[in-house]
């Protein structure tokens, strides 16, 4: 609601209140339905063959390079998550005037 209020500030035509319902409920529901459809039909393979990318990762003839690539992506994601979580702690320490490295 804050976003709609902000969008209406200075607007010639305010955004209709029905649009708030669409943004809040209909749009996320449609995105979830599209994601689930993609997951079921293209990844898992309901109604046909699963994607070649998925069979490279977990099929009968799995591709080791594809598996290592996914492992590297996951490792980088974990490292970025750890760095970002540490950055928030460091920022809070700097705001409070303490020494962030004195743990």
Q: Does pTM top 0.85 for this prediction?
A: no
Q: Regarding predicted confidence, which is higher, 49 or 9? A: 9
Mean pLDDT of the 54-75 span: 91
Phi (first) and psi of residue 70, to 5 degrees: -65, -40
Q: Which residues of 45-80 are buried (b: 16+ CB within 10 A; e: fewer)?
A: eeeeeeeeeebbeeeeeeeeebeeeeeeeeeeeeee
| 4-8, 31-35, 93-97: segment of lowest average pLDDT | 93-97
In percent, how much of the chain has pLDDT > 70? 94
């Amino acid at each position: 609601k804050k976003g709609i209020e902000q969008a209406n500030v200075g607007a010639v035509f305010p955004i209709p209140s029905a649009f708030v319902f669409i943004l809040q409920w209909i749009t996320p529901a449609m995105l979830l339905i599209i994601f689930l459809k993609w997951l079921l039909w293209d990844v898992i393979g309901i109604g046909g063959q699963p994607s070649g990318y998925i069979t490279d990762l977990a099929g009968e003839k799995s591709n080791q390079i594809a598996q290592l690539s996914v492992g590297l992506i996951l490792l980088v994601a974990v490292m970025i998550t750890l760095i970002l979580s540490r950055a928030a702690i460091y920022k809070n320490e700097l705001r409070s005037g303490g020494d962030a490295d004195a743990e």
